[in-house]
Structures are given as structure tokens and as C-alpha cells.
Amino acid sequence: MTDADLKSEEIILRTLAAAYPDIPILSEERGGTEVKEGYLWVIDPIDGTVNFFLQDDHWGISIALAENGQTVAGIIYLPAKRQMFSASRDIVARTRFVGEKQCIWTELRVTQENNLSGAQFWVEWGKEGHGGDDHKKVCEIIARLDRHTLYPQMRNSSVTTLMMVACGKIAGAILPKPEPFDIAAAGIIVARAGGKVTDINGETWGPFSRSLVASNGILHNDLLRIVRY
């Protein structure tokens, strides 16, 4: 954690509390309760703090609104790339570049890649909690992907990686052990960009899912067969 994580969180929490004082907040640094009835804000002030600290541009800020345990709207900003993404249950996924004179939103679409061997998938670490076994499983997933797909990569910002799926840069992403902050906004954006999002067992995803597989939809079943363990 850096001072920037705390400052970003402070600004977001203060702004949301002023505008929506009755909606509880679950935030990565301050914590909160996983409320599954009524509305809940789910916040990640900086996802990919190590990348941010190392001045890599693969990091982002995530804000989601959940209702009765399901995401209904999400927005992600990648400050180093100056790119913003948004979607809701009623509005398709869109993106725009911040700082341009005209505020032009462009509809997002996932890639139509249908060749598994030519598709690239990225994997996220997740927090280790079992004496090395969690990260061992991630390495096993990478090894399986390497046998079937094009140069799988391991990155360190779930929200940014999932936006690469949403805008068609890669065919999919695997998060073996995400936190709600990692997926609450990103999942709905990928889905509303035409992708498919489930847990690792192929079940319906939600902001409190304990695993996440996101893809362009075309290769989703193939991806699930590779990564299940």
C-alpha cells in the first residue's frame, strides 16, 4: 500500500458519502461489510499498486454499484493510460480517453478470435493464504494455458487486465482468487462488451464470486476446460 492508495480512497469515499449518504461502502483499504441486500458501493482506490509504484501503466481505479448482491453499474479509470470504461445493466460498455477536447464515448466489443491456439489469456495472482498452494495453482494454470494458447501472461492488476478483455486486446482472463474490489466493476463491463463472465466452475458470476473467468464468449468453454482444477 502507498500513500496514493489512501489518498485516492479518501477522495472517492468522501465524494460518494456526500452524494449518497445512505449507501454503505466496501473499500479495499478501509474495509466494510459484504452487504447483499440493498445497495452497496465496492471500491478499489488503486488496483495494481506494485505496478503503480514501479511506474508501469498497468493499474487502475474501480468503482461499482451493487444491488442485492449483483453489480448494476461499474466504472474503471486507468490514469496512466488516460482511459475510462463504464457499463451498467441498462447501458452497453463504453470507453473514452480523458483529456480530449470532445468527450466521445466509444462502444466496446470483445475480440472475435475463435482459434484457441492463436488466442492470448492473462492470469492474476490473487492473495496467498495457504502456505504457497494458491500461487502454485496459478502457476499450474499458466502451464496448462501454455500448452494450448498463445504466450499466456501473468499481470498484476485485475481491473486493468479485465479491461483488456473488454476492449478486445486479449481473448480472456483468469482470476483464481479475486477480491470483490477486483471484479465488481470489471465483470459487468466485460459482460456488457459482449463477453462472457463466470466463476471457474462455469456458474453465474457476482461481485462476491471466489473465482472469475472472463472471455470473449466464443472460447469460454474451451478456457474453462483448461483452467479447472
Instruction: Tell which of 107, 128, 145 closes a domain.
Output: 107
Position 181 scores a pLDDT of: 95
In the chain, which ranges are continuous DSSP H helix? 3-19, 49-53, 133-148, 158-166, 180-192, 220-227
**Is residue 85 domain-shared with residue 167, that is, in the same domain?**
no
Instruction: Tell which of 80, 107, 134 closes a domain.
Output: 107
**Is residue 61 domain-shared with residue 20, that is, in the same domain?**
yes
**Is residue 94 domain-shared with residue 121, that is, in the same domain?**
no
Helix (H, G, I), strand (E, B) or coil at 196: strand
Position 229 scores a pLDDT of: 61
Instruction: Tell which of 81, 107, 133 closes a domain.
Output: 107
Helix (H, G, I), strand (E, B) or coil at 4: helix
Q: Which domain holds residue 131?
A: 116-227
Position 104 scores a pLDDT of: 87
CB 196 within 8 A of CB 212: no
**Is residue 146 domain-shared with residue 189, that is, in the same domain?**
yes
**Is residue 25 domain-shared with residue 80, that is, in the same domain?**
yes
CATH code for position 10? 3.30.540.10
Model confidence, pTM? 0.95
**Is residue 97 domain-shared with residue 182, that is, in the same domain?**
no
**Is residue 169 domain-shared with residue 100, that is, in the same domain?**
no
CATH code for position 139? 3.40.190.80
**Is residue 49 domain-shared with residue 100, that is, in the same domain?**
yes
**Is residue 12 domain-shared with residue 82, that is, in the same domain?**
yes
**Is residue 137 domain-shared with residue 35, that is, in the same domain?**
no
Number of domains, the chain: 2
Chunked mean pLDDT (size 10), the chain, 229 residues:
92 96 95 94 96 94 98 97 97 91 89 97 86 88 95 94 98 96 97 98 96 98 90
**Is residue 68 domain-shared with residue 123, that is, in the same domain?**
no
**Is residue 136 domain-shared with residue 176, that is, in the same domain?**
yes
For residue 177, what are the CA distances in angstroms to 105, 125, 136, 199?
A: 32, 8, 12, 10
